Amino acid sequence: MKKITGNKFTDLQHLLSIDEMDITLINDIFKSADKFLKNNQIIDKYKILQGKTVCNLFFENSTRTQTTFEIAAKRLSADVINLDIATSSQSKGESILDLINNLIAMGVNIFVVRHSMPGIPEQIARNIKNKAHIINAGDGNKEHPTQALLDAYTIKCYKKRFGDLKVAIVGDIEHSRVAKSEIYILNKLGVQEVRVIGPEPLMPSNISELNVRAFSNMNDGLKDVDAILMLRIQKERMSKDTIPSEKEYFKAYGLNEERLKFAKNDCIVLHPGPINRGVEIDTLVADGRQSVILEQVKNGIGIRMAVMEKMTN
Amino acid sequence: MKKITGNKFTDLQHLLSIDEMDITLINDIFKSADKFLKNNQIIDKYKILQGKTVCNLFFENSTRTQTTFEIAAKRLSADVINLDIATSSQSKGESILDLINNLIAMGVNIFVVRHSMPGIPEQIARNIKNKAHIINAGDGNKEHPTQALLDAYTIKCYKKRFGDLKVAIVGDIEHSRVAKSEIYILNKLGVQEVRVIGPEPLMPSNISELNVRAFSNMNDGLKDVDAILMLRIQKERMSKDTIPSEKEYFKAYGLNEERLKFAKNDCIVLHPGPINRGVEIDTLVADGRQSVILEQVKNGIGIRMAVMEKMTN
Amino acid sequence: MKKITGNKFTDLQHLLSIDEMDITLINDIFKSADKFLKNNQIIDKYKILQGKTVCNLFFENSTRTQTTFEIAAKRLSADVINLDIATSSQSKGESILDLINNLIAMGVNIFVVRHSMPGIPEQIARNIKNKAHIINAGDGNKEHPTQALLDAYTIKCYKKRFGDLKVAIVGDIEHSRVAKSEIYILNKLGVQEVRVIGPEPLMPSNISELNVRAFSNMNDGLKDVDAILMLRIQKERMSKDTIPSEKEYFKAYGLNEERLKFAKNDCIVLHPGPINRGVEIDTLVADGRQSVILEQVKNGIGIRMAVMEKMTN
Among the listed ranges A16-20, A201-205, B254-258, C300-304, which one has the minimum average pLDDT value? A201-205
Question: Residues B79, B52: contact at Cβ < 8 Å?
Answer: yes
Range A23-47 average pLDDT: 92
CB C68 within 8 A of CB C300: yes
Give the minimum alpha-carbon distance from B133 to chain C in angstroms, rounded to a whole number.
Answer: 16
In a domain? residue C118 = yes
Task: Please give the mean pLDDT across all residues of chain A.
Answer: 91
Q: What is the 8-class DSSP label of residue C202?
A: G
Average confidence (pLDDT) over C210-224: 97
Residues 6+ apart with CB under 8 A from A261: none
Tell me the three state secondary structure of residue C138.
strand
The mean pLDDT of A19-34, rounded to a whole number, is 96
- Option in A44, A64, A274 nearest C51 (CB): A44
Tell me what the mean pLDDT of segment A176-189 comes to: 98
- Average pLDDT of the segment spanning A84-102: 77
Distance CA A254, CA A172 (A): 12
CB contact C99 to A (< 8 Å):
yes
B-contacting residues in C 56-75 (Cβ below 8 Å): 61-64, 67-68, 70-71, 74-75
Same domain, C88 and C208: no
Lowest-confidence range among A276-280, B14-18, B306-310, C293-297?
A276-280
Contact B88 C64 (CB under 8 A): yes
Say how many Å lie between the first and final Cα of chain C, rounded.
27
Torsion sign over Cα C295, C296, C297, C301:
positive
Residue C84, classified by CB atoms within 10 Å of its CB into exposed (0-12), middle (13-18) or buried (19+), is: middle
Residue A55: HSE in the Cβ half-sphere, 13 Å Cα cutoff? 27
Residues C32 and C78 in one domain: yes
Q: Average pLDDT in the C91-109 region?
A: 88
Residues facing C270 on adjacent strands: C229
Three-class DSSP category at C20:
coil
Contact between C106 and A67 using a beta-carbon 8 Å cutoff = yes
Within an 8 Å CB–CB cutoff, is residue A244 touching chain C?
no
Q: From the CA of A100, how many Å to the nearest CA of chain B?
A: 11
Dmax over CA atoms of chain C, in Å, equals 56
Q: Domain check: are C106 and C41 in the same one?
A: yes
C-beta atoms surrounding C236 within 10 Å: 8
Q: Are residues A307 and A286 in the same domain?
A: no
Cα B293 to Cα B284: distance, rounded to the nearest angstrom: 13
> Side-chain half-sphere of A274: how many Cα atoms within 13 Å?
22
Q: Is the pLDDT of residue A199 over 80?
A: yes
Q: Which of A59, A89, A131 is the best residue to mutate to test the B interface, defined by the most B CB atoms within 10 Å of its own CB?
A: A89
What pLDDT score was predicted for residue B227? 98
Choice among A233-237, C4-8, C174-178, C201-205 with the minimum mean pLDDT: C4-8
Give residue B246's pLDDT. 83
C69 vs C93, more confident: C69
C85-89, C103-107, C266-270: least confident range:
C85-89
CA distances from C273 to B89, C180, C293 (A): 9, 16, 8
How far is residue B278's CA from residue A292's CA, in Å, rounded to a whole number? 53
Q: What is the mean pLDDT of residues C224-244?
A: 79
Per-residue CA distances from B189 to B7, B18, B144, B149, B150 (Å)? 16, 11, 17, 11, 13
Q: Confidence band (pLDDT; 50, 70, 90) for A91?
A: low
The per-residue pLDDT for B41 is 80
| pLDDT value of position C7 | 45
Does a structural domain hold residue C238? Answer: yes
The answer to whether residue A13 sits within a structural domain is no
pLDDT at C232 over 50: yes
Q: Cβ of B42 and A107 within 8 Å?
A: yes
The Cα–Cα gap between A27 and A48 comes to 20
Which chain C residue has the Cα nearest residue B93?
Answer: C276
Contacts of A107 in chain B (CB under 8 A): 42, 71, 75, 298, 301
- Name the closest residue on chain B to residue C303, using Cα atoms: B106
The answer to whether residue A6 is domain-embedded is no
Q: How many Å apart are CA A241 and CA A235, to the nearest integer?
A: 10
Distance CA C108, CA C106 (A): 6
CB contact under 8 A, A277 and C101: no
* CA distances, A208 to each of A21, A204, C204 (Å): 21, 9, 69
Kindly state whether residue C51 falls inside one of the protein's structural domains. yes
How confident is the prediction along chain B (313 residues), in pLDDT tens digits per residue?
344 454 444 569 999 999 999 999 999 999 999 999 987 788 789 999 999 999 999 999 888 999 999 999 999 999 999 997 865 655 556 789 999 999 999 999 999 999 999 999 999 999 998 899 999 999 999 999 999 999 999 999 999 899 999 999 999 999 999 999 999 999 999 999 999 999 999 999 999 999 999 999 999 999 999 999 999 987 666 555 566 788 888 999 999 999 999 999 999 999 999 999 999 999 999 999 999 999 999 999 999 999 999 998 7
- For residue A208, being part of any structural domain is answered with yes
Burial letters for A267-292: b for 16+ Cβ neighbours within 10 Å, e otherwise?
A: bbbbbbbbbbbebbbbeebbbeebbb
- Rounded to a whole number, what is the distance in angstroms from the first to the last CA of chain B? 27
Q: Does B158 lie in the same domain as B91?
A: no
Q: Are residues C217 and C250 in the same domain?
A: yes
Give the SS3 label for residue C245. Answer: coil
Q: Which B-chain residues 213-232 have CB contacts (< 8 A) with chain C?
A: none
Q: What is the pLDDT of residue B293?
A: 98
- Whether C128 contacts C101, CB under 8 Å: yes
Provide the pLDDT for residue C263: 98
Q: Would you give the DSSP letter of residue A76?
A: T
Give C129-169 pLDDT, tens digit per residue.
889 999 999 999 999 999 999 999 999 999 989 999 999 99
Whether the per-residue pLDDT at C233 is higher than 90: the answer is: no
Q: B185 to each of A245, B150, B151, B175, B196, how far by Cα in Å?
A: 65, 10, 9, 18, 14
pLDDT band at A44 (very low <50, low <70, confident <90, very high): confident
Taking CB atoms and an 8 Å cutoff, what residues of chain B touch A83? 63, 67
Same domain, C155 and C190: yes
Q: What is the CATH number of the domain that holds C96?
A: 3.40.50.1370
pTM: 0.94
One domain for residues A91 and A106: yes
Query: Cβ separation of A71 and C50 shorter than 8 Å?
Result: no
Residue C174 maps to a domain: yes
Q: Which residues in C lie closer than 8 A to residue B92 (C-beta atoms)? A: 274
Alpha helix segments (H runs only) across chain A: 23-36, 63-75, 96-106, 120-127, 145-159, 177-188, 218-222, 235-240, 246-253, 257-260, 283-286, 293-311
Listed in sequence order, the residues at least 6 apart from A248 whose beta carbon sits closer than 8 Å to its beta carbon are: none
> Could you tell me if A299 and A292 are in contact, meaning their C-beta atoms sit under 8 angstroms apart?
no
In terms of domains, do A237 and A303 share one? no
Q: Looking at the domain assignment, is residue C256 inside a domain?
A: yes
What pLDDT, on a 0 to 100 scale, did the predictor assign at position B268?
Answer: 98
Instruction: Give residue B88's pLDDT.
Output: 60
Say yes or no for a CB contact (<8 Å) between B102 and C273: yes
Q: Which helix (H) or strand (E) holds C282?
A: none
Residue B97: phi and psi, rounded to 5, are: -65, -40
Note whether C262 and C290 are same-domain residues: yes
Q: C84 to chain A: nearest residue by CA? A: A63
CA distance A94 to A73: 27
Lowest mean pLDDT among A76-80, B2-6, B203-207, C259-263: B2-6
Residues 263-302 of B with CB under 8 A from C: none
Q: What does each C-alpha distance from C296 to B82, C159, C248 come to in angstroms?
A: 22, 14, 28
3-state SS, residue C193:
strand
Q: What pLDDT was estimated at residue A84? A: 78
For residue B46, give its domain range. Answer: 23-143+298-311
**Strand ranges across the sheet with B79-82:** B79-82, B53-58, B110-115, B133-139
Nearest to C45 among B51, B84, B101 (CB): B51
Give the pLDDT confidence score for residue A237 in this predicted structure. 60
B36 plus B157 within the same structural domain:
no
Query: Into how many domains does chain B fold?
Result: 2
End-to-end CA distance of chain A: 27
Q: For residue A259, give the nearest of A179, A186, A170, A174 by alpha carbon.
A: A170
Question: Please, which chains are in contact with C (at least 3 CB pairs closer than 8 A)?
Answer: A, B
Inter-residue contact C39 to C157 (CB < 8 Å): no
Q: Left if phi > 0, otherwise alpha if psi is -120 to 50, otherwise beta: which for C204?
A: beta
* pLDDT at position A85: 80
Identify which of B227, B235, B220 has the alpha carbon closest to the alpha carbon of residue B275: B235
3-state SS class at B110: strand
Between CA A64 and CA A83 the distance in angstroms is: 15
- Counted residue by residue, chain C has a size of 313
Q: Give the per-residue pLDDT at B61.
A: 85
Q: Cα(A18)–Cα(A311) distance, rounded to whole angstroms?
A: 16
C-alpha–C-alpha distance, residues B139 and B15, integer Å: 12
Q: Is B129 on the interface with C (CB under 8 A)?
A: yes
Distance between B109 CA and the closest CA of chain C, angstroms: 10
Q: Are residues C149 and C286 in the same domain?
A: yes
Percent of chain C with pLDDT over 90: 81
Whether residues C83 and A63 touch (CB distance < 8 A) is answered with yes
B81, B95, B104 ranked by CB distance to C67: nearest? B81
- Using left for φ > 0, alpha for ψ between -120 and 50, and beta otherwise, residue A77 falls in left
- Listed residue (B292, B39, B248) closest to B158, CA to CA: B292
